[in-house]
Structure 1
């Protein structure tokens, strides 16, 4: 029986490689987003920790705390913007990955359908050959029966 050979196998391999590359890019974007979220949470925790001023603090300490809180607040704003950008990039990567998966699945479906058609055709050829052998055997037996009478 002949082996099935998919004519578009190279295309399928290329699409698989592109999908794998998109998966890596997506995971990388996802980890960058998680790092930005962790940084933002750390900054917010630090802000909350130093936000409340103790009663026995000097004016200089209050100014230092105020400057520090302003710096943290600025960092929070920048990190929030950065996180927003990373979320947009992540969403673009997600859409790209979905598209690559659809493209791959399209070719895989085509491959499966062609393989099924090939196997069906091979089974029909094999069945025809078996039918012919059975018919020849029947005719031979019939001749033997007529000749043997």
Structure 2
């Protein structure tokens, strides 16, 4: 019995490679987003830690704390903008990954259908051969019985 040879195997391999690359890009974008989220959380924690300025501190210390809070606030705003960009990038990578999966699955479905048709044809050939052998055996036995 011969083996099924899928003519588009190279295309399927290329699509698999592209999907794997897209998965890596998606994971990378997801990790970058998580880093930005972590940074933003850390900045918010620092802001909450130093935002209460008591009147018992010296004017210089209050002024330094105020400048530090302004810097943290500015950093928080920048991190929020960066997070929005990372989320958009992540969405783009997710869309690209889904697109690559659909492309790969399309070729895989073609392969599966071709393989199923091939197996069906092989089974029909085998069945015809078996029927022919049975017919020859029947004829031989029938002639010997006379």
Q: Settle same-fold status: TM greater than 0.5.
A: yes
- Residue 137 of structure 2 aligns to a residue whose secondary structure is helix
Q: Which runs of 5+ in 2 are unaligned?
A: none
Cα deviation digits, residues 36-75 of structure 1 (max 9, x gap): 0000000000000000012311111111000000000000
**Which residue pairs with 2:99 in the alignment?**
99
1:109 aligns with 2:109: yes
Cα deviation digits, residues 120-148 of structure 1 (max 9, x gap): 000000000000000000000111111xx
Shift of 1:113: 0.5
Distance across 1 between alignment mates of 2:121 and 2:23: 38
Distance across 2 between alignment mates of 1:88 and 1:141: 78
**Which residue pairs with 2:50 in the alignment?**
50
Corresponding pairs, count: 146
Distance across 2 between alignment mates of 1:114 and 1:31: 40
Q: Which runs of 5+ in 1 are unaligned?
A: none
**Which residue pairs with 2:139 in the alignment?**
139
Shift of 1:14: 0.2
TM-score, length basis structure 2: 0.99
**Which residue pairs with 1:126 in the alignment?**
126
Q: Following TM superposition, where does structure 1 have runs of at least 4 consecutive aligned residues deviating by more than 3 angstroms?
A: none
Shift of 1:102: 0.2
**Which residue pairs with 1:10 in the alignment?**
10
TM-score, length basis structure 1: 0.97
Equivalent positions of 1:64-75 (< 5 A) are 64-75=64-75
**Which residue pairs with 1:30 in the alignment?**
30
- Residue 54 of structure 2 aligns to a residue whose secondary structure is coil
Kindly report the root-mean-square deviation, in angstroms, between the aligned alpha carbons of the 2 structures.
0.5
